[in-house]
Amino acid sequence: MDQEILDEALEELQATLGDRATPDLSHRIGYSRDWSPRHRSHVDLPDIVVLPKTTDEVVEIVKIAYRHRIPVVPFAGGTGMAGGVAAWKGGIAIETKSLNQVLELDEANMMVTVQAGITIWDLNEELARHGRWFPHQPESKRACTIGASIGCDNDSTFGLRYGKILDVLSNVVMVTGEGEAVRFGRRKAAFTSTGYKLLDLIVGSEGTLGVVTEATLRVFPMPETRLVRGFVCRSLEDGIRALERMLASGLGVESAHLNCRRRLRFYTHAYREKYQKEPEIPDWAEAILFLSFAGDEEVVKFSLEKATRILLDEFAAEGVKEQEMVDGWWASKHSLDFLPFRQKWPDSQRQKKFGAADIGLPIGRVQEAYQGFLDISSRWEQDVLGMTVYNESPNKPTASISFAVFVDDSTEESVANFYRYVREMSAMAVEMEGTMSSYIGDGDRLGGFNELEHGASYTYMKRIKEMFDPGGIFNPGKKFESRWIPTP
Ligand SMILES: Cc1cc2nc3c(=O)[nH]c(=O)nc-3n(C[C@H](O)[C@H](O)[C@H](O)COP(=O)(O)OP(=O)(O)OC[C@H]3O[C@@H](n4cnc5c(N)ncnc54)[C@H](O)[C@@H]3O)c2cc1C
């Protein structure tokens, strides 16, 4: 960026925000990367960091950026896995976590309106005081914000009952490309058949259409009790069919996670540390299905008994013997102080970095895709961590899959091999009539290459971007360009 333009913009930003607009390197470095695999010394420095506290302040920031045609990158928890916050083309990083207020809890309508930078954890702390909870919860909920959940359309531990963010989102306020704050969505009604569904467009837009500053969300009564159990299955397909059978029987399953045998090792570090032995998993077991049931005690107990009968009698599955191991797995999804990091990544990611191809598939292609995963990861010399199938649609089995590997981030070549692996996995997903990414997003990896999935509709996406963002300032490069995967 031209330094003179930046200096002028900084002066204007400081006139509005004071020292909450800064060019200091010590601040910029904190906004220079997320959790996506890249070489360990790689950073993308924004030129200026701003910390707005209100929608009006975001409006002012965007107006200044638009006037000077300076890139604007919304930055939330920085836990994204796709490089969505990488200030690849410099510009202004908007720290959204200062927008962290609960604006209204409407108990009669079971709705809450928040500023978009509040973390899911903090929102739930507040709701707990009123006996309510917000069930859209990625494992990173302690750092991950509501705005980023909307921004990257992430997934949730409780997706099988409550779906994805769109299932619990009523409307948002977003500041668009010329600095106008606009409400998108359907106020507090659960549905609308008027107008176009622009809210759907914003979900997953990764800060390329605007900065989300407020959101109105559906909240739920806190369940009275919860039981979590694990079952070993003879194949991945058995696990999926058993879940389908449970749902068809009328059971309300709260969450279901189907792991390949390899992936289980990732979750059992705490168990091994404590007992100095492997958990007892029979040799024939190819998959582990974790289930949770939540609600009134009587219903939860009955549901678990019925689910157990289906699994054991109809699918020759077995219950996981060490409940402590199951509890450890569950805790790894919810613990304080990011225990998951310590539990799942024994070396705290110093030597190995988590990386995943996250693809969505038609439910019948999972077993076949698993074989593809083993072949493709071996071709690119990836250290396989394993596969988890997440269910992200209310009351039906769906295949949102994490095909995870450990990435060696010590050389450019080994990181490049990871992205070659992602490219082939993504192409496989499209060939199987699925999607290249079901919860991580395009970020700075799939842009351009994703035309393979979207075909002619890709042109309409580009036009939509131009309409919302006429100056091309919002998160430039994301969705339409890739630095890591060449366009075919
Ligand atoms: C330990 C760990 C566990 C994880 N578990 C899960 C999981 O269970 N499920 C899952 O889906 N993901 C998971 N992730 C990935 C990541 O946490 C999610 O993608 C999450 O949504 C990122 O949130 P964030 O607040 O850190 O966003 P950031 O990384 O800061 O931003 C993500 C994207 O959203 C955009 N954005 C942020 N705020 C706004 C806004 N207000 N308006 C417009 N755009 C915005 C950013 O520009 C960027 O493109 C995990 C990551 C880690 C490190």
For residue 356, what is the enclosing H or E element? Answer: strand 353-361
Atom index in ligand 1 nearest the CA of residue 34 equals: 29
Mutation probe of ligand 1 site: the residue of 144, 173, 212, 481 with most atoms within 8 A of C-beta = 144
Helix (H) or strand (E) holding 422: helix 412-431
* pLDDT score recorded for residue 325: 87
Residue range 3-97 forms a domain whose CATH class is alpha beta
**Residue in the structure block whose two tokens are 């622009």:** 198
Provide Rg for the chain, Cα atoms: 22
CATH architecture of 99-221: 2-Layer Sandwich (3.30)
Whose CA is closest to atom 44 on ligand 1?
207
Distance 212 CA to ligand 1 centre (A): 14
Q: Which of 38, 73, 99, 154 to mutate to test the pocket of ligand 1 (most atoms within 8 A of CB)?
A: 154
**Could you give the strand order of the β-sheet that contains 72-75, starting from the edge strand earlier in sequence?**
21-22, 48-50, 92-95, 72-75
Query: In this structure, which residue's CA is closest to atom 7 in ligand 1?
Result: 138
Q: Which residues does ligand 1 sit against, CB inside 6 Å?
A: 34-35, 73-81, 84-85, 96, 116, 138-140, 143-145, 147-149, 151-152, 154-155, 206-207, 211-212, 340, 439, 475
Report pLDDT for 445.
96
The closest-lying atom of ligand 1 relative to the alpha carbon of residue 144 is 25
Cβ atoms of 157 and 137 within 8 Å: the answer is yes
**pLDDT at 91 (0 to 100):** 98
Q: Rounded to the nearest whole angstrom, what is the distance from the C-alpha of residue 200 to the centroid of ligand 1?
A: 18
Is domain 225-344 in CATH 3.30.2320.80, yes or no?
no
Q: What spacing in Å lies between the alpha carbon of 76 and ligand 1's midpoint? A: 7
- Say how many Å lie between the CA of residue 450 and the centre of ligand 1: 20
pLDDT in 10s for each residue of the chain, 488 residues: 899 999 999 999 999 999 999 999 999 999 999 999 999 999 999 999 999 999 999 999 999 999 999 999 999 999 999 999 999 999 999 999 999 999 999 999 999 999 999 999 999 999 999 999 999 999 999 999 999 999 999 999 999 999 999 999 999 999 999 999 999 999 999 999 999 999 999 999 999 999 999 999 999 999 999 999 999 999 999 999 999 999 999 999 999 999 999 888 777 777 777 788 888 889 999 999 999 999 999 999 999 999 999 999 999 999 999 998 898 889 888 864 444 455 555 555 566 788 999 999 999 999 999 999 999 999 999 999 999 999 999 999 999 999 999 999 999 999 999 999 999 999 999 999 999 999 999 999 999 999 999 999 999 999 999 999 999 999 999 999 999 987 76
Answer yes or no: are the C-beta atoms of 443 and 82 closer than 8 Å: yes
pLDDT, position 347: 52
Query: Token pair 């769906």 is at which residue?
Result: 398
Say how many Å lie between the CA of residue 148 and the centre of ligand 1: 5
pLDDT at residue 340, rounded to an integer: 45
The whole model's pTM is what?
0.96
What's the rounded Cα separation, in Å, for the pair 213 and 112? 14
Of 400, 445, 440, 438, the residue nearest 421 (C-alpha) = 445
The reply to whether 353-438 shares the fold of 99-221 is: no
* Minimal-distance CA residue to ligand 1 atom 21: 149
Tokens of 60: 């002012």
Mutation to probe ligand 1, out of 140, 156, 160, 344 (largest number of atoms < 8 A from CB) = 140
Residues 215 and 104: beta-carbon distance below 8 Å: no
Residue among 139, 353, 468 whose CB has most ligand 1 atoms within 8 A, to mutate: 139
- Ligand 1 atom at minimum distance from 441 CA: 19
Q: Where are the beta strands (DSSP E) in 164-320?
A: 169-175, 181-185, 211-218, 220-221, 225-233, 255-260, 287-295, 318-319
Kindly list the domain boundaries of the chain, sorted by start residue: 3-97, 99-221, 225-344, 353-438
- Could you give the 3-state DSSP secondary structure of residue 113? strand
pLDDT value at residue 353:
87
Residue-level pLDDT at 341: 52
CATH class name, domain 353-438: alpha beta
Burial code (b: 16+ CB inside 10 Å, e: under 16) for 137-151 equals bbbbbbbbbbbbbbb
Q: Can you read off the two tokens belonging to residue 131? A: 């006996």
